[in-house]
Amino acid sequence: MGGKFSKNKLVDSSSMEDSYFRYRSDLTSYEAADGVDTSLQDFEKTLHDQADRVIGTLAAGAKAQSLTINNLTEVITDLREMHLISAKIILTLDKDIRNDKELSNLVGC
C-alpha cells in the first residue's frame, strides 16, 4: 500500500515573503480593530465556532473512515452560514469597501 506523491511545483520564496509582508500590515490593522470593535469580535467568534464545528465533524468522519450524509449536511450547513454571515458584513460595509480599492478588489466589487 503505497501512497501517491503529488508533483509540487517549486514555490518562489521571494514571492512568499512579498505576500507575507503585504498581508502582515493588514493583519495588524485587523487585530487592532478587533480589540475595540465588538461587532468584529462577535463576527470572528461566530466564524471561529462554526469552523470548529466543521473541523470536528470532518475529523470524526475521518476517524471512522467515512462521512455520513448527516455529517456532510452539517458541514455544508455550517459553511453556508459562514458564507451568509460574511456576505452580510460585506453588504453592511458596502460604501467603505467601494471607497477602498484594495478591499474592493478583495471582495470582487
Examine residue 4 and state whether it is found in any structural domain, yes or no.
no
Determine the Cα–Cα distance for residues 50 and 44; give it in Å rounded to an integer.
10
98/1: higher pLDDT: 98
Q: With respect to residue 80, please indicate whether it lies within any of the assigned structural domains.
A: yes
The total number of structural domains that make up the chain: 1
What does the pLDDT look like over 34-63, one tens digit per residue? 777 787 788 888 888 888 888 888 888 777
* Residue listed under C-alpha cell 470582487: 108
Q: What is the pLDDT of residue 25?
A: 75
In a domain, 11, yes or no: no
Cβ contact 52:58 at 8 Å: no
Range of the domain at 100: 39-107
- Assess if residue 54 is contained within a domain: yes
Residue 8's pLDDT is 52
Burial of 3 (0-12, 13-18, 19+ CB in 10 A): exposed
Instruction: Please report whether residue 8 resides in a domain.
Output: no
Please check whether residue 32 lies inside any domain of the structure: no
Residue 6 lies in a domain: no
Mean pLDDT to the nearest integer, 10-18: 64
Here the cell at position 39 is: 461587532
Cβ–Cβ under 8 Å, residues 79 and 47: no
- Give the global pTM: 0.51
Q: Per the domain annotation, does 14 fall within a domain?
A: no
DSSP 44-99: HHHHHHHHHHHHHHHHHHHHTT---HHHHHHHHHHHHHHHHHHHHHHHHTHHHHHH
